Amino acid sequence: MGADDWLAVRFDENRIRLRAVAYRMLGSAHEADDAVQETWLKLSRSGSGDVENLGGWLTTVLARVCLDMLRSRRSRREEPLAAAAERPGDGNLEEDLALADATGPALLIVLETLAPGERVAFVLHDMFDLSFEEIGRILNRAPAAVRQLASRARRRVQGTEAPAADIALQRELVGAFLAASRDGEFERLLAVLSPEVVLRADEQAVRTAAERQRHGAPALEAQARGASRVANIFKGRARAASPALIDGKPGAVWAVRGRVLSAFLFRIEGGRIAEIDIVTEPAHLAELDVKID
């Protein structure tokens, strides 16, 4: 068997799964088939016979093809939901019906309201179990940014928001964290942080902190874990941070003349802060829905 024949066989082994991914992303059987065909063309031109994880490689390529198609569709302001309930059809009736039923026209209609990045993050993570790190490489986003995209998409798909009482308690906790940070109160910071709290910062935040260390900025790494370590980083900081609602959840921002330059995203579990993501990259900031208090 020649190399081209071997690649064709391997591709056919992945075709059904690829088609399922594309259909859920695009909501159109014809576009899904086009995306799968484009993925095959990219594979056949790449000489990727020595790729160790061909399935993962194909999923990555397909996702980028679908992302480009979604962005192109959005830029043309198309309304493809006239065909959103369109059933896949390649001659295998049993597989086609199973795929259509698993997705459902109602879900496709909701997915169509999502931005391209949100849709890709939600489909790949929630439906196909790809990690945020893998999706981040596809979207050219940090894992924290992908997590936010998927979370925002999930809330829209589910049509649910956190109860007002929960939001109020989370606001109070974030406010206590900011006050302790500004006052340099190490013990108060420890009191609101989970013992295993994780702090993540995007590349621009790490780079900016390094440039400002000579002026007293804290050392910042891409990830820090543990209450003591995170408390030390924030001790005496956050003086210019303002409370905000970010994608409907309590957070904080640093803004100058109304322009958000950095955002602090919090995940709260068991009445304590379990994760903090520092976002400064403009592309990610532009994707956040920010309402400054």
Domain boundaries, the chain: 3-158, 164-292
CATH 1.20.140 assigned to domain 3-158? The reply is yes
pLDDT higher than threshold 60 for residue 80: no
Predicted pLDDT at 219: 76
pLDDT higher than threshold 50 for residue 179: yes
154: exposed, middle or buried (Cβ count in 10 Å: 0-12, 13-18, 19+): middle
Beta bridge pairs of residue 268: 273
Average pLDDT over residues 271-291: 87
The tokens for 147 are: 């997590």
Q: What is the pLDDT of residues 45-76, one digit of tens each?
A: 876 556 678 888 899 999 999 988 988 876 66
List b or e across 87-121, with b for residues whose CB sees 16 or more CB atoms inside 10 angstroms.
Answer: ebeeeeeeebeebbeebeeeebebbbebbbbbbbb
Q: How far apart are CA 256 and CA 244, in angstroms?
A: 14
Between 59-73, 86-100, 249-263, the lowest mean confidence (pLDDT) is in 86-100
Contact 210, 223 (CB under 8 A): no
* 3-class state of residue 121 by DSSP: helix
What predicted TM-score, i.e. pTM, was given to this entire model? 0.59
Fold classified for 164-292: Nuclear Transport Factor 2; Chain: A, (3.10.450)
Predicted pLDDT at 93: 41
Matching fold, domains 3-158 and 164-292: no
